[in-house]
Amino acid sequence: MLTFMLTVILILALILLTPLALLKIKLARGIKRQKMENAAYRAPTLDASHGVSSLTVLPLVDYHAAEPGLATEAGVSYLVRAGDTKILLDVGANEKGEHPSPLLANAEALGVDLNSLDALVLSHLHRDHVGGIPEEKEKRFSFSQGPFSVVDLPVYTPEPLTGHLPEGCRPITVTEPREIAPGVWSLGPMGRSLFFMGYTLEQALAVHVQGKGMALIIGCGHPTIEGLIERCEALFPHPVFAVIGGLHYPIRGGRIKVGPVNIQKYVGSDRMPWNGLTEADVRSGIETIKKAGVTTVGLSPHDSCDWSLDQFRKAFGKGYAEVQVGRPIALSE
């Protein structure tokens, strides 16, 4: 009887530990790949003379809203107005599979015409940025779970899209830093090995505002704020003066949970679950941003808890901008 019980326990242990071991091996391989790519990276010579005189970021999808009646969720979509150019960064999560989606509903409520966009930029192909779980699985995106089309809209992605796309979209895979519009750049794809999510390529926007420097507009910040600022400083002679968007600090609670488990704390880290993100990571991020001389900061609540938001508010004082649906953030004043 004892032998039988020990056998059962051993089998159950193998069933539970084998997937974890495989994930650990996958994570280690991804970290090795990330280190090799970072070591081999050489910043290209860019013509960074172009700049814009005006820049605003209007959150269309995020976890908090500036006023009642606007839809909120643990997703991201920002309308970036850089001079005369209008760029949409990400399309939200559409967690409930709705039509109109939170993106379309909020755009209409805020008087934003999505048919007048000059470009769409997908920061990375996770569900909270491409419009849902099916979209993530099929490497595609959607504006809503119903008909919505555009006319010849370039869609810049850090890796190829292979699924069915909305009518009128023209996918362009970004393989290196490139100028999307005068003064508006993609930093190029940056890799990060994530537990559960695997190796993830993410790009961020860097906008040159004349007389001020570079504004970083970020989807999730998986490459880390340290890596993003380092990449921006390597590419451009202008200082980073603003950081707006997601940096993934779900330290004390998260926006996505399975029962009591804070899923965000584990899926967006390159550590094993028992060595997840800590308060020290938030403090390190704040110090990195301060050291770079950044004067304006806005932390997205979609992947950072309220405690982390409060730490950023205290650290940057009047230089902190609330990231809320419907609240425009002016970065050129």
- Sequence spans of domains, the chain: 41-330
* Six token digits for residue 209: 């505002």
Mean pLDDT of 85-108: 98
For 122-132, the pLDDT digits (tens) are: 999 999 999 99
**pLDDT attached to residue 262:** 79
Percent of the chain past pLDDT 90, that is, above it, reads 74
For 22-63, the pLDDT digits (tens) are: 777 887 888 888 888 888 888 898 888 899 999 999 999 999
pLDDT at residue 270 is higher than 90 = no
Superfamily name and number for 41-330: Ribonuclease Z/Hydroxyacylglutathione hydrolase-like (3.60.15.10)
* Six token digits for residue 46: 């860019």
Place of tokens 């939200």: 92
Q: What is the pTM of this model?
A: 0.93
For 222-242, the pLDDT digits (tens) are: 999 999 999 999 999 999 999
For 57-80, the pLDDT digits (tens) are: 999 999 999 999 999 999 999 999
For 196-215, the pLDDT digits (tens) are: 788 999 999 999 999 999 99
